[in-house]
């Protein structure tokens, strides 16, 4: 099989890159605006981190990252809710579809350099955006075969109820994602992902892993989590510890807030605020605390030894939460990579 090389745009801390590397694809570089992602990206991946604003990067600069020989893959997840500095910079320019603006630059680079294969992961809502339709139209005009679908991540071994839009496009022939590797009978569970970690209490940090740390709950929230059942709701609590908003009709439709996860099911979707007990069903199944940063990373299918914290920089829980929550689940990235390699192998004798 010919060598396959990828560049990961909007790479963040390397979820997609790690998955592609695990599949056997050579990722040569990741590009991201956030310099704070560099440590985690380069400490865990063979690829080079390029701290650059994709919206200001010329397509030829991306082209030069690829070797002259081999199959070229352009991959990435253009953030649907860009980091604040992106938002502040572009909010006033009048672009017709501001929320999805970074996809425009992904598409622009793809159109200019015409890689052999394109892989994109994003939120399902993107399907209905005009800019996505334009993105698809431009790919078709450039003679790509395109396949896209909304993926339920547990179907591919990710232990969380996450849905993502995955697009694959190829210059060679029709391309598709591998068939699901899991079913409801063998979905990876919370217990399988985090059940072996050492016990810690609210506000504590494990002595052997600084990422296995959780926020300290207030006395009232400690009462609330102690009254919570796995898979239950705040309705299980005594009325004297319920929130005022829960007692209003408008608050009765958010039962998962302040909830505990179930051991033997996939977790809820890991958001950028998963480390906060009150931000969703992010209570530990049996310990009286919120998820730790390491647990959130494991539920995003990062390897257990993935290094996130630069020893020369202070730890920032909020920033780490954003980086982990925004990442492409590593196992989904691996499936995308395997799909690409299978496609290349199938076409090698005929087209490539």
pLDDT tens per residue, range 201-226: 999 999 999 999 999 999 999 999 99
Q: Are residues 178 and 209 in the same domain?
A: no
80 is catalytic: yes
Name the band, by pLDDT with cuts 50, 70 and 90, for residue 91.
very low
Do 259 and 236 touch, CB atoms closer than 8 A? Answer: no
Q: Are residues 272 and 168 in the same domain?
A: no
Q: Are residues 141 and 48 in the same domain?
A: yes
Residue-wise pLDDT tens digits, 100-154: 889 999 999 999 999 999 999 999 999 999 999 999 999 999 999 999 999 999 9
Mean predicted confidence (pLDDT) in 303-330:
95
Q: Are residues 308 and 268 in the same domain?
A: yes
* Structure token digits, residue 25: 């694809």
Nearest-CA neighbor of 76 among 26, 22, 118?
118
State the total domains in the chain: 2
Q: Are residues 296 and 338 in the same domain?
A: no
Domain of residue 73: give its range. Answer: 4-87+97-183+328-347
Residue 104 lies in a domain: yes
**pLDDT value at position 1?**
65
Name the band, by pLDDT with cuts 50, 70 and 90, for residue 249.
low
Q: Is the pLDDT of residue 336 over 60?
A: yes
Mean of pLDDT over the chain? 91
CATH number of the domain at 159, please.
3.40.50.150
Q: Are residues 155 and 271 in the same domain?
A: no
Nearest-CA neighbor of 18 among 5, 31, 8?
8
Q: Are residues 237 and 134 in the same domain?
A: no
End-to-end CA distance of the chain: 10
Please, what sign has the CA dihedral across residues 14, 16, 21, 27? negative
Residue 214 lies in a domain: yes
Which of the residues 80, 153, 214, 245 is marked catalytic?
A: 80
Relative orientation angle of helices 330-347 and 15-23, to the nearest 10 degrees: 40
**pLDDT value at position 256?**
61
Which range is most confident: 27-31, 76-80, 128-132, 313-317? 27-31
Residue 51 lies in a domain: yes
Q: Are residues 271 and 342 in the same domain?
A: no
Between strands 117-122 and 163-170, the pairing is antiparallel
Q: Is the pLDDT of residue 316 over 90?
A: yes
Residue 92 lies in a domain: no
Residue-wise pLDDT tens digits, 12-70: 999 999 999 999 999 999 999 999 999 999 999 999 999 999 999 999 999 999 999 99
Q: Is the pLDDT of residue 81 over 80?
A: no
Cα separation, 208 vs 196, whole angstroms: 14
Residue 117 lies in a domain: yes
Residue 159 lies in a domain: yes
Name the band, by pLDDT with cuts 50, 70 and 90, for residue 234.
confident
* Structure token digits, residue 88: 């502040």
Q: Are residues 26 and 124 in the same domain?
A: yes
Which residue matches tokens 């099911």?
Answer: 265
* Structure token digits, residue 101: 């603006």
Q: What is the DSSP letter of 285?
A: S
Q: Are residues 179 and 207 in the same domain?
A: no
Q: Are residues 305 and 177 in the same domain?
A: no
**pLDDT value at position 245?**
63
Q: Are residues 19 and 116 in the same domain?
A: yes
Which residue matches tokens 């697009």?
Answer: 167
């Amino acid at each position: 099989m010919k060598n396959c090389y990828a560049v990961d745009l909007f790479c963040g801390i390397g979820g997609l890159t790690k998955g592609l590397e695990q599949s056997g694809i050579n990722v040569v570089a990741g590009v991201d605006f956030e310099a704070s992602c560099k440590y985690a990206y380069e400490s865990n991946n063979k690829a080079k981190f390029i701290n650059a604003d994709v919206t200001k990067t010329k397509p030829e600069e991306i082209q030069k990252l690829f070797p002259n020989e081999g199959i070229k893959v352009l991959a990435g997840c253009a953030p649907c809710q860009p980091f604040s500095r992106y938002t502040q910079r572009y909010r006033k320019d009048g672009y017709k579809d501001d929320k999805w603006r970074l996809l425009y630059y992904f598409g622009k680079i793809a159109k200019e350099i015409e890689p052999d294969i394109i892989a994109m992961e994003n939120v399902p809502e993107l399907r209905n955006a005009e800019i996505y339709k334009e993105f698809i139209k431009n790919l078709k005009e450039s003679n790509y075969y395109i396949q896209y679908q909304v993926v339920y991540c547990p179907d591919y071994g990710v232990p969380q109820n996450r849905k993502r839009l995955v697009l694959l496009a190829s210059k060679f022939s029709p391309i598709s994602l591998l068939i699901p590797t899991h079913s409801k009978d063998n979905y990876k569970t919370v217990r399988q992902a985090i059940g072996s970690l050492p016990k810690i209490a609210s506000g504590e940090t494990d002595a052997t892993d600084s990422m296995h740390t959780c926020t300290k709950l207030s006395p009232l929230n400690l009462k609330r989590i102690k009254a919570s059942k796995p898979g239950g709701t705040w309705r299980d609590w005594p009325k004297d510890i319920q929130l005022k908003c829960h007692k209003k009709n408008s608050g009765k439709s958010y039962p998962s807030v302040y909830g505990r996860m179930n051991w033997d099911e996939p977790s809820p979707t890991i958001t950028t605020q998963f480390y906060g007990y009150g931000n969703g069903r992010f209570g530990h199944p049996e310990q009286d605390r919120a998820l730790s940063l390491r647990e959130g990373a494991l539920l995003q299918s990062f390897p257990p030894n993935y290094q996130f914290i630069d020893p020369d920089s202070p730890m920032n829980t909020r920033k780490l939460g954003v980086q982990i929550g925004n990442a492409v689940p590593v196992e989904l990235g691996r499936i995308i990579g395997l799909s690409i390699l299978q496609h290349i192998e199938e076409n090698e004798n005929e087209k490539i």
